[in-house]
Amino acid sequence: MTEQIVHSILLALHNIALVGCAAAPFYNRALVLKRSQYGPKLYYEMDKVVEDTLQGNAPYCIAFIITLFATGMLMPLNHYYFQGSFKDLHTVAYVALAVKLLFVFGMVFIMLKIFYGINPRLRELFARFTQNNNPIEAEEQKFFALRAKRKALCEICLIFAIIVLVASAFLGFSS
């Protein structure tokens, strides 16, 4: 019974993290699509809200991915602790696990590229803009080019998150 309680707690945390990993790029995408209606022209107040929101989500994304990975590793260890062996899985579950891990690592790669590559450059560029002045056209173009790059990576991350969600459904296959 203790094994099942621990497994259920880990699974609940895992599912919350999994939903968070999918929800973040989904809602970020919705915000970016709404903003794109105004074109690649800086509207300081609106763009500040967009940047603050998107960049403010980074710690949550990191927490969700760490929770996802940690609980994903702890579940089989929980079974091992109580049963003395790892759970025997069906080939379908092993394939699903491999797919899930591959795409989780893909999400981590994208997150690192965005959080430590693109976002700092966007912050630096946006800091040069002010509410009352028109931005230098070259800097504005760089800013929106970086945003477009981040948007494309977020789109890929959303697809990866959906693949992870679907793959998770196949982990229940047992031999």
Overall pTM > 0.85: yes
- HEC string for the chain: CHHHHHHHHHHHHHHHHHHHHHHHHHHHHHHHHHHHCCCCCCCHHHHHHHHHHHHHCHHHHHHHHHHHHHHHHHHHHHHHHHHCCCCCECHHHHHHHHHHHHHHHHHHHHHHHHHHHHHHHHHHHHHCCCCCCCCCHHHHHHHHHHHHHHHHHHHHHHHHHHHHHHHHHCCCCEC
Q: What's the pLDDT band for 21 if we cut at 50, 70, 90?
A: confident
Q: Check residue 87 and give its pLDDT.
A: 85
Cα–Cα distance for residue pair 39/46, rounded to 1 Å: 12
Q: Which residues pair with 89 in a beta bridge?
A: 174
The 10s digit of each residue's pLDDT in 41-50 is 999 999 999 9
**Mean pLDDT for the chain overall:** 91
pLDDT tops 80 at residue 174:
no
Instruction: Locate the domains of the chain by residue range.
Output: 2-169
Residue 122 structure tokens: 């966007």
Cα–Cα distance for residue pair 39/144, rounded to 1 Å: 9
